[in-house]
Amino acid sequence: MVDKIKHSLRESKGARWTALILASLSIFGAYYFNYALSSIKPMLESILGWNSEDFGTYTSAYAWFNVFLFMLIISGFILDKLGVRKTGLGATIIMFLGTALNYWAVKHQFAEGAVIHIPLLGAMKTQVFLSAIGFAIFGVGTEAIGITISKAVVRWFKGKEMALAMGMQMSIARLGTALALVISIPLAKNFTVTAPILFALIVMILGVVSFILFSILDMKLDKSEETVTKEKSSEDEFKIKDILLIIGNRGFWYIAILCVLFYSAVFPFLFYATDLMVNKYNVSPYLAGAIPALLPFGTIILTPIFGGIYDKFGKGATIMIIGSVILIFVHGILAIPVLSVWWIAASMVIILGIAFSLVPSAMWPSVPKIIPEKQLGTAYAVIFWIQNIGLLFIPLLLGVVLNSTNPDVSPNKIVIKDAVEKAFSEVLTAENFSAKEIHKATEKATGTAVDSIVQYAEYEPVSVEKTDSKDVGNEIYLSVSQNIKNVDLSGNKDKVLKEIINAGSKNTFDIIKKEKLNIRYNYFYDMLIFLTLSILSLIFAFLLKIEDKKKGYGLELPNIEKEIVAED
């Protein structure tokens, strides 16, 4: 038996860390696309006519199929039945297909006012619905690959540097999140609003290739272990009673509920963080994504470090409690209205990164201590399913609350965009500018004017009841059309368009400021939601530690087993 263990491929550090890197790269693109559109929320509003409720619907769509169609639970069954390789390959392909549909929906120009009537939900903008469906399909693949990689890490690293390996896997994946927060705005501003999604499609293809390479290495692991076939046929065969054993475990429920509360206080925050930086902290839209990006960059370094500490010294439940306390502190500070200086926000995001490194570094390696390995696929699937319930309802709730507490912001942005588009279309069509050129010029002029108001203009906005939107829209239209007529339209097209965009944005800015239109979101009530989730996560972290003391799961013990066999 000792000889078989020694010849196992997992005993090779080079092999198991190579396997980890390849598996992690397959989910890198998922973490990128998950946040690719969050950075450009203001552009989705000013260019595509979305509002915060539309954005909330879109972000919540990630979990639609996973929660309501139980796709995550089914993915767990498939994982335990078919294994890591087949499940992972299918998952990466599904991610690509969902991203492709999302790209088409955002790129396609639907008829103005096009809606789809959905039973029980009512009317939804066609573009929002189809892009949401794409995001939902993407979510099925992402969660399936997530549980697949979690089980793969346990398979390759059990009894070794498991928490460190899980931390490294999360670090590589979160590089995708950081990349999305940093480059999505420049891509959208310099090209089109669909450019970040197109980039995601390319990365998804690389993810499929990476997982194929991992599968080849994983097959070599099977060949290196003579007992693997027998183990799979007897012990790892999926049985319905396995899920009953899992859901009957109180420790499992504490860690699952802690997971949904903690991640709901972080992931949805990242969806809205860039917009929060612009609206509350007056950060330039070009730089606003860089502040939330500090969080994943911090976790990239810290998560493996904290995982290594857990491996060597234990204290998993205590680490989760400390992380939850930090989470409460961060959201409490961000919720205070008078603290609106950008460096405070940046500091809190960095500290949030510490919390986001502490809890996951201890939480995921703790699951195999509570649940037997043969049930891990299903166990991770149930946890991820519960997490997806939070990722479904919390973003939707945040969007509804943000929209209802700021009822005039989205309508005002639509009025501005329609007025600029009307002026540009009338003047430029007669000069043989294409519809695409006019549309792009409208995007840039509207976006620049709105962004400049939010960043620079200081005034007490007029409430929606006291604003005549029709008159304001007409005023913008007349002013913009009059001023762009003074531009010499006979020169180089690119130069002409640049002058027109500058003239249009300047006149639009002046009228918005004069009329004191409200186009700045107040995030106070949304931050209270995050604070509440943080407090609840601390309660369940304490409950988990108490349960560990009762049942002796060993959450406070190190993960690395002492290698007594080597002396034989």
In the chain, ranges of CATH 1.20.1250.20 domains:
10-236+247-406+522-563
Right CATH number for 10-236+247-406+522-563 from 1.20.1250.20, 3.40.50.720, 1.10.3720.10, 1.50.10.20?
1.20.1250.20
Q: What is the mean pLDDT of residues 520-541?
A: 95
| C-alpha to C-alpha distance for 503 and 537, rounded to whole angstroms | 51
Question: What secondary structure does DSSP assign to 485-513, as a single string?
Answer: TTS-TTS-HHHHHHHHHHHHHHHHHHHHH
90-148 confidence digits (pLDDT tens): 999 999 999 999 999 999 888 877 888 877 667 888 999 999 999 999 999 999 998 89
Is the predicted pLDDT of residue 184 greater than 70, yes or no? yes
pLDDT at 566: 42
Is the predicted pLDDT of residue 202 greater than 80, yes or no? yes
434-459 confidence digits (pLDDT tens): 887 888 888 888 888 888 888 888 88
Percent of the chain whose pLDDT exceeds 90:
29
286-327 confidence digits (pLDDT tens): 788 788 888 877 777 888 888 888 888 888 899 999 999 999
pLDDT at 237: 55
Name the residue with higher pLDDT: 493 or 237: 493
132-178 confidence digits (pLDDT tens): 999 999 999 999 998 899 888 888 887 788 888 888 888 888 888 88
Contact in structure between 218 and 36 (CB atoms under 8 Å): no
Is the predicted pLDDT of residue 13 greater than 80, yes or no? yes
Q: Which residues pair with 124 in a beta bridge?
A: 116
220-246 confidence digits (pLDDT tens): 888 877 654 444 444 455 566 667 778
pLDDT at 130: 94
Is the predicted pLDDT of residue 425 greater than 80, yes or no? yes
| C-alpha to C-alpha distance for 128 and 116, rounded to whole angstroms | 10
Dihedral angle over CA of 108, 109, 113, 116, nearest 10: -20
Which residue from 127, 142, 38, 126 is spatially nearest to 91, judged by alpha carbons? 142
How confident is residue 540, by pLDDT bands cut at 50, 70 and 90?
very high
